[in-house]
Structure 1
Amino acid sequence: MRSHPHPPTPDNDMPVPATPAGREGLAALRAHPEHALVALDFDGTLAEIVPDPEQARAHPDAVPALAALAPRLASVAVVTGRPAGVAVRHGGFAGVAGLEHLVVLGHYGAERWDAVTGTVQAPDVHPGVAGVRAELSGFLDELGLWRGTWVEEKGRAVAVHTRRADDPHATFDALGGPLAELAARHGLITEPGRYVIELRPPGMDKGVALASYAREVGAESVLYAGDDLGDLPAYAAVEKLRSDGVPGVLVCSGSAEVAELAERADLVVDGPAGVVRLLSRLAEVLAAARPQ
């Protein structure tokens, strides 16, 4: 493992992590970007949260920022609970100059899209997903909680959204236990998010996906940005990497809905727009340090 310098004097408009570990991680990334991995959640991080997930699109400046940054790094990865192909379409990632080696780890790492091939690699769908899908409408009706909820089909998972309910928070809380029981009957687990509960197969999460990919690319520093409870395993993976001597930065795409991430983050930015500004500024700083 190469040695890393002390944190440099901060640029006037470059966000500075609030923690020593975060400052060390950012300094390591800036010192040796060719050995750095930048990994990002999609919804709430690169794209605004919207009532209908099918209408979510990456921030208009996200792709240009990533395209400017990616060629200077070991790798850029999008780590999302969405199907990989959906994230690629909604992000506009395919066929972009500068993103020739982008990787999208979808369904918490169960699927993988590589820009190099333009194809998705994925295992067979867990049979429990079909069982849950068949039961879910009647299940919500029996609970008296169907009004205002919305079921999202995700191929390898099913998600129940409560954002449209009269009381999204109360409906979310009321569904937690029953949906966990339903998932367990079909060999699935639940993943809570921002007014959404996803029922999905066990064995993969963003932390497993991130740690595996970091090993694959030989990352010697890692920056991860997320916004939701499903990103906590990825935060834990970065913290484990730091304990093993790999510097890392935890970025929170700020939201009043999820305080847990902000409390653990090294750097909190103002939603997807703040994430994009960070990526753009980082690309500029790296370009100034090492013109191509």
Structure 2
Amino acid sequence: MQAGSLIVSGADALEAFARAAAERPQATALLCDIDGTVSPIAPTPAEARVPAAFRDLLAALVPRLGLVAFVTGRALEDGRRMIPLDGAAYVGTHGLETMAVDGPLVVEPLAERYVAAVHETAQAAARDLDCEALGVVLEDKRTVLAVHYRLAEDPAATRRRILEHVVAPARRRGLAVATGHFAFEVRPPLPFTKGTAVRRLLDAGGHLAAMSCGDDLTDVAMFTAVRDWGERDARRRTLALAAVTGETPRPVVEAADVTVRATPGVYRALRRLAEAVGAV
């Protein structure tokens, strides 16, 4: 790594992908997480923002590439509110909600049967946890409940309380639980992930190159799905880019072809892509 560089590793892979995208921009797909990737990590989900420079850069990429899709754990409409771009596709709640380019919002029908259990878990969490004192933020996304504890003064103790009062009861209700950056997510026990969603998006188009960008464990499924898609056709080129900080889980780093320094590094990488395809 060069001193002071925002590209931590994989600079050559990034450059090779940019050259491939330059040859066929309309056959290139960009699949991008939001929080921690194009939006700096914030104390609470409500405080997160996509910087104006990022919005402008991504807006310039939309008409130049064959597909720009935002793939988030947020509710789809919430993610779309953060970065509302005409011509982009959206995936919400880790693949349970999708919106194709200029299409309607579609919720996975199987998820509906778990809405009541998720709601009951959210109500119990609000009742049994002193969220304000613990530094816990509950984010009810209807089909998914996110429990954030980034603000906790004692993260280890708070984590134990969440395991006891949220995770264990959720599992007894037949729900699945995933972990992230100072967060747990309670969700339906269904085989839908960011990976399954992006695979459907890629299979629906004639893409020959795909770049996926993320920062957390749920993004590993996206990295893996894009890589598997690429391996099915020798003409295809893929790139997985991870925004890393001191909190980044090891599996995220190991699954990436390129690692960059948090959101400023993602901006630098996407700027290089934009330059290559003539978007800036």
- What TM-score range do you get, normalising by the shorter chain? 0.7 to 0.9
Q: Is the 8 A contact 1:44 1:227 kept in 2?
A: yes
Amino acid at match of 2:238: G
What is the deviation of 1:202? 2.5
**Map of 1:67 onto structure 2:** 59
Once residues 131 and 157 of structure 1 are traced to their aligned partners in structure 2, the CA distance between those partners, rounded to angstroms, is 11
Q: Is the 8 A contact 2:145 2:186 kept in 1?
A: yes
Aligned 1:92-107 pairs, distance under 5 A: 93=84, 99-107=85-93
**Map of 2:229 onto structure 1:** 241
- CA deviations on 1:39-91 (whole Å, 9 max, x unpaired) are 00010001011111111111221121112112121100000010111111122
Identity of aligned residues (%): 30
Once residues 213 and 72 of structure 1 are traced to their aligned partners in structure 2, the CA distance between those partners, rounded to angstroms, is 17
**Map of 1:184 onto structure 2:** 171
Once residues 73 and 15 of structure 1 are traced to their aligned partners in structure 2, the CA distance between those partners, rounded to angstroms, is 23
Q: Using the TM superposition, name which of 27-36 and 75-84 deviates more.
A: 27-36
Aligned 1:1-292 pairs, distance under 5 A: 18=10, 25-91=17-83, 93=84, 99-114=85-100, 116-117=102-103, 119-123=104-108, 125=112, 126=114, 127-140=116-129, 147-172=134-159, 175-176=162-163, 179-203=166-190, 204-245=192-233, 246-260=236-250, 261-287=252-278
What is the deviation of 1:20? 7.7
What is the deviation of 1:139? 4.2
- 15 and 133 in structure 1: CA distance in 2 versus 1, 3 angstrom threshold: closer
Which stretches in structure 2 are left out of the alignment for 5+ residues? none
Amino acid at match of 1:29: A
What is the deviation of 1:158? 1.0
TM-score, length-scaled by structure 2: 0.84
Which stretches in structure 1 are left out of the alignment for 5+ residues? 1-12, 94-98
What is the deviation of 1:178? 6.2
- 281 and 140 in structure 1: CA distance in 2 versus 1, 3 angstrom threshold: same
- 254 and 214 in structure 1: CA distance in 2 versus 1, 3 angstrom threshold: same
Q: Is the 8 A contact 2:80 2:90 kept in 1?
A: yes
**Map of 1:3 onto structure 2:** none
Q: Is the 8 A contact 1:40 1:78 kept in 2?
A: yes
- 26 and 172 in structure 1: CA distance in 2 versus 1, 3 angstrom threshold: farther
What is the deviation of 1:275? 1.3
Q: Is the 8 A contact 1:169 1:195 kept in 2?
A: no
Amino acid at match of 2:51: H
Q: Kindly report the root-mean-square deviation, in angstroms, between the aligned alpha carbons of the 2 structures.
A: 2.8
Once residues 29 and 186 of structure 2 are traced to their aligned partners in structure 1, the CA distance between those partners, rounded to angstroms, is 29
Once residues 114 and 79 of structure 1 are traced to their aligned partners in structure 2, the CA distance between those partners, rounded to angstroms, is 12
TM-score, length-scaled by structure 1: 0.81
What is the deviation of 1:24? 5.4
Once residues 111 and 283 of structure 1 are traced to their aligned partners in structure 2, the CA distance between those partners, rounded to angstroms, is 28
